[in-house]
Amino acid sequence: MPDIDLHLRGEYIELDKLLKATGLADSGGQARALIADGQVQVDGQTELRKTAKMRAGQVVEFAGQRVRVIPPA
């Protein structure tokens, strides 16, 4: 699967909102459950904080899919 590029609208996006915005989770509740279950990695490390702030340059991985966080245009 090709990487997903997520362009920020502000300084950051919270991890649970990123999963929902990219369609990797169907809802915020599902996103939070996936994070709490240890299924999401940020920059190669398991991330358990549901509202961790994802900033430009970070890479989120879940279920074989990679999301690159891109700075605002």
Average pLDDT over residues 3-22: 97
Owning domain of residue 59: 4-70
In this predicted structure, the answer to whether residue 67 has a pLDDT above a threshold of 90 is yes
pTM equals: 0.94
Question: How far apart, in whole angstroms, are the C-alpha atoms of residue 64 and residue 72?
Answer: 25
Residue 8: CATH number of its domain: 3.10.290.10
Distant-in-sequence, close-in-space partners of 4: CB < 8 Å, separation ≥ 6 = 22, 65, 66, 67, 68
In this predicted structure, the answer to whether residue 73 has a pLDDT above a threshold of 80 is no
Q: Residues of the chain with pLDDT > 90: what percent?
A: 95
In this predicted structure, the answer to whether residue 48 has a pLDDT above a threshold of 90 is yes
Q: How many domains are contained in the chain?
A: 1
